[in-house]
Structure 1
């Protein structure tokens, strides 16, 4: 049985957010900014955020040329423009909310490595620049082939480089700590280790059932609920149009005289790497084994780790001496296209998910939109 104090202070809320990743925290913060007196709780199943919010490579980007050209094929120009704009606005909003220093934002620029098979894409760079220029008040993509030698890439593989001055990088850990700190500063309660099993709407609100070792289960109550569980959304919304996608990432040990700075894309965004201080973080290659990587299981795929190791040695760092420190994985969420999903499930239940591997860029924007629907 709960005490009167537990019932008053820990069980009943105006709003409950399920999931403490970028979208969940951003939703709660936006709601608190709109309703300062609202009693808000976030329920997180893990001791740490369980999806990709603490696992991503820290890219503050809006999409590479070849990736956006593929988006145009599936979405058309107008929707691709809107998607890129939402990503860029989301990055600006994240930086404004937390500040550049607390998230260690660095504007080293974004780059795309173009191989022989991708050279035809360069013919369309002017068209894409013309489409996106209103977002940035300048052309977002510039060809700068002298960077191939400057960065030390394998010239037999890399045939051209596209540079964007509008992309940067963050420290993912610092960013998430800053978001958590902001939420707590506003008086938002974060319950970790609170695995939501189900929710049930009643005449007066929503009951959210959480597993608990002491009580077996706890039924939290709220007027309204937001589901912000991205790749794990099907556990609460089986009908959700979503597929999980595991992303595998490696990090090297410190490398002497590393000249690579910035965020880099390859193969329509399926490969991505960046410097982290004097180390390299490299992730991707999910497209080599899509079926296996369509999973919510944390783990490592040997086929992909071998490919990442080869790509790092043969293409990115051919002239460097280095050691790989370790690998990790994070779970993203995808659909038929890159647009995120924002939905009102009922009068009291709302959801925002399917970030397409762009959570850092679009999570803040999606959270604000979700808050606007609920408040």
Structure 2
């Protein structure tokens, strides 16, 4: 049962954002910036964001060579170009807004390990550069000549560098979004499990164990920013969850001889150096159907694969012991274009970020706010 004060003050808003991750926070901030007097509420079911916003690898990237070539199999050239540009603009936006130091951002570049299986893609590097040069003003991809200094096993035949990619601290990024939301007086309620969004009544229905009855929040406008979980609220969305495993080793005795954002196996595996620890993640292509889930559990097959890859290919001379392991839930579809659309005149959705939430989250939110403001 609600009190008089709760009913009067806490249930009606100008904008309600469902989901308190990168896209949800970015949406609330950008909406509030244009309307400083608006009442804005974010509803998040977890203590921390429940998807992948704080459970990713911290890659400030927009696609390796083989990933982009794979995208060209399912998307038109102009669509791929626009998607890469959107990711790049998103990264530049958050760097310009918050600053590299605050984000823990490092411009160490991106690298892709090429084995015999991917060797054929090197012949198309010049073609991909020709597509992307209008965006970046120069070639994006180049081949690294001396790969022996990286210390990889001889299974790695070539190394391709992307000079524009970087890496950041995902925890610092979310803290900056939280702090900015607070400066704009955005209300954030955690532990708020949204059970339904009524498109006709413009209500967000929340279940909470403290109250016997369901809580019905209403707003002039609603933004659904739950990425892979959007299908639980809205029917007929072409969104599949994709679970990603990330592991971080204990600090190594020997200095890791490289820095940067590294990609392997068509981008399904990724790794980086954090404080002389190996962070490695991905591998969901080994058991793709099992990983189409929203359960935060570790797949032992994928864990064993990443551990073996770490010791046999990436750091073959190290005896690795992993200290952290976690999973995050991403959203995917038949291609990597995000879903940004209005469901009604005043209710919009931004989801299916294809594992690129760090890069594309801010820009995706900007497009959703533009739709809601019309």
* TM-score class, shorter: over 0.9
Q: TM-score, normalised by structure 2?
A: 0.97
TM superposition shift of 1:106: 0.7
Does structure 1 retain, via aligned residues, the 8 Å contact 2:45–2:192? yes
TM superposition shift of 1:5: 3.0
Aligned to 2:240: 243
TM superposition shift of 1:59: 0.2
Aligned to 1:208: 204
TM superposition shift of 1:213: 1.4
Aligned to 1:22: 22
Using the alignment, how far apart are the partners of 2:225 and 2:63 within structure 1?
23
Using the alignment, how far apart are the partners of 1:182 and 1:119 within structure 2?
45
Comparing 207-216 with 77-86, greater Cα deviation is found at 207-216
Q: Are 1:223 and 2:229 counterparts?
A: no
Give a deviation string over 1:130-177, Cα, whole Å, max 9, x none.
11011111110010131x2111111x2100001111000000111111
Does structure 2 retain, via aligned residues, the 8 Å contact 1:98–1:179? no
Using the alignment, how far apart are the partners of 1:200 and 1:309 within structure 2?
45
TM superposition shift of 1:201: 4.1
Give a deviation string over 1:187-211, Cα, whole Å, max 9, x none.
1000000010112245xx5121111
Using the alignment, how far apart are the partners of 2:103 and 2:72 within structure 1?
32
SS at match of 2:82: helix
Aligned to 1:72: 72
Does structure 2 retain, via aligned residues, the 8 Å contact 1:230–1:352? yes
Aligned to 1:371: 369
SS at match of 1:250: strand
Comparing 294-303 with 212-221, greater Cα deviation is found at 212-221
Using the alignment, how far apart are the partners of 2:144 and 2:198 within structure 1?
56
Using the alignment, how far apart are the partners of 2:216 and 2:97 within structure 1?
33
TM superposition shift of 1:326: 2.6
TM superposition shift of 1:226: 0.6
TM superposition shift of 1:343: 1.4
Aligned to 1:150: 149
Using the alignment, how far apart are the partners of 2:10 and 2:149 within structure 1?
57
Using the alignment, how far apart are the partners of 1:227 and 1:136 within structure 2?
32
Q: Are 1:131 and 2:138 counterparts?
A: no
Does structure 2 retain, via aligned residues, the 8 Å contact 1:110–1:166? yes
Q: Are 1:232 and 2:229 counterparts?
A: yes
Aligned to 1:351: 349
Using the alignment, how far apart are the partners of 2:197 and 2:110 within structure 1?
42
Give a deviation string over 1:263-310, Cα, whole Å, max 9, x none.
000111101001112111101110010010010111011110010001
Could you tell me which runs of 5 or more consecutive residues in structure 1 were left unpaired when the two chains were aligned.
Answer: none
Does structure 2 retain, via aligned residues, the 8 Å contact 1:254–1:322? no
Using the alignment, how far apart are the partners of 1:199 and 1:285 within structure 2?
34
Using the alignment, how far apart are the partners of 1:95 and 1:326 within structure 2?
28
Choose which of 168, 174, 184 in structure 2 pairs with 1:176: 174
Does structure 1 retain, via aligned residues, the 8 Å contact 2:311–2:320? no
Using the alignment, how far apart are the partners of 2:324 and 2:188 within structure 1?
30
Aligned to 2:328: 330
Aligned to 2:55: 55
Using the alignment, how far apart are the partners of 1:238 and 1:262 within structure 2?
40
Using the alignment, how far apart are the partners of 1:8 and 1:109 within structure 2?
52
Choose which of 275, 278, 281 in structure 2 pairs with 1:280: 278
Q: Give the aligned CA root-mean-square deviation in angstroms.
A: 1.1
Aligned to 1:122: 122
SS at match of 1:292: coil
Does structure 1 retain, via aligned residues, the 8 Å contact 2:341–2:371? no
Aligned pair count reads 371
TM superposition shift of 1:116: 0.6
Aligned to 1:185: 183
Using the alignment, how far apart are the partners of 1:185 and 1:259 within structure 2?
41
